[in-house]
Amino acid sequence: MATHRSRALFHGVIVARGHGMIGRELCYFYATRSVSIRKRITVADHAPALRTELYPEIEPYDAGMLPLDGRHQMYWETSGNPAGKPVIFLHGGPGAGASPAHRRFFDPRHYRIVVFDQRGAGRSTPLGDITDNTTPHLIADMEVLRRHLNIERWLVFGGSWGSTLALAYAEAHPRRCSGLILRGIFLCRKSEIEWFLYGLKNLFPEAWRAFSGYIPEAERGNLLDAYYKRLTDPDPVVHMPAARQWGRYEGACSTLMPNPETVAYFGGDVVALGLARIEAHYFTHDIFLPLNSLLDHAGRIRDIPGVIVQGRYDAVCPIISADDLHRAWPEAEYHIVPDAGHAAWEPGICRQLVVACEKFKHL
């Protein structure tokens, strides 16, 4: 079996400056079985320029609803090249659902692009259902989908909660992953959940006041419990206003600069219900994994080629989590985008994600 060094393409930290990495001087760590050699090169001098822009909109060539059990049905779609390299997109939340724009990170001539909505999210049914909805269920669902599509291995792409699920899946099924592209790292530790619920008030006090102020003062000592009680109430008159408040709060904190479109998207009824109810469900139950499980088992993924893209000013998923992950997985390529927050559509983050997908075309 190859060692971590012999399998790695390059190691170390790459800090993206300005508007991308093309033509900029980078430090790569080339590895052999016996020694790692650090060499400075200029990408433009040694390789054709990599694309940095999203691909044009495309439509799926196949789609369906996959029965998972007697209750849940999962929406899936495939687009791009039916004979291409498989890549699976994992949406955030949990519960946010995927959108047509998510297909655009990938070259449709090269990739067989698999997009799906996780249990209870987006076009999967029932919307917002938390029955039998846990991280182990989602990992198993990915395997059901992989077998349904007759895919042996796939490149796994996920951001925010999508990075959480990607790590959990890769640690459970490393041989099924040809690579990992992760953005806005969320390890779902108690400190991260506490930051989301209370710490964000230090950066977004107006958004936090609206979020916390929706809950009666007597219940604000445990915002998660107060929201979870309302979000799981069967009456839409109770759960929908709470869901919209949660969604708008997360949307308001997701970008470096104010973006009303992002806030409106997160506050829309379909996204808000799936996102808020399922997030609160997973947060309440520590994502149904042992504490610190993702970092403790990072050794299982060290032979998988990987890229981590992190906004320096990501308020929703602060950079400390990406830093901790890279320390546990030093073989991964690590890009810190200096002028970005959390969202995948932040210009610098979007460029780095497209570049990562372009690189994996040649691995």
Residue 66 pairs in a beta bridge with: 74
Cα angle for residues 265, 212, 191 (degrees, 5° grid) = 90
Choice among 239, 314, 321, 326 that is catalytic: 314
Long-range residue pairs from 264-273, CB within 8 A, at least 24 positions apart, any chain: 266/96, 269/240, 269/243, 269/244, 270/97, 270/122, 270/127, 271/96, 271/97, 271/247, 272/240, 272/243, 272/244, 272/246, 272/247, 272/248, 273/127, 273/128, 273/239, 273/240, 273/243
Query: How do strand 177-183 and strand 306-311 relate by DSSP bridges?
Result: parallel
293 is catalytic: no
Query: How do strand 154-159 and strand 177-183 relate by DSSP bridges?
Result: parallel
Residue type, 230: R
Q: Where are the alpha helices (DSSP H) in 232-316?
A: 236-252, 260-267, 269-284, 293-296
314 is catalytic: yes
Distance between CA atoms of residues 341 and 184, nearest Å: 9
Q: What is the dihedral sign for C-alpha 161, 165, 171, 176?
A: negative
SS3 153: coil
| φ, ψ (nearest 5 deg) of residue 333 | -75, 130
Choice among 239, 326, 335, 342 that is catalytic: 342
Are 350 and 54 in contact, with CB atoms under 8 Å apart?
Answer: yes
Distance between CA atoms of residues 192 and 147, nearest Å: 34
Choice among 79, 160, 212, 293 that is catalytic: 160
Q: In what order do the strands lie in the sheet with 111-116?
A: 13-15, 333-337, 306-311, 177-183, 154-159, 85-90, 111-116, 73-80, 62-67
Largest CA distance in the chain: 65
Helices and strands of the chain, counted as H and E runs: 13, 11
160 is catalytic: yes
Catalytic residue ranges: 160, 314, 342
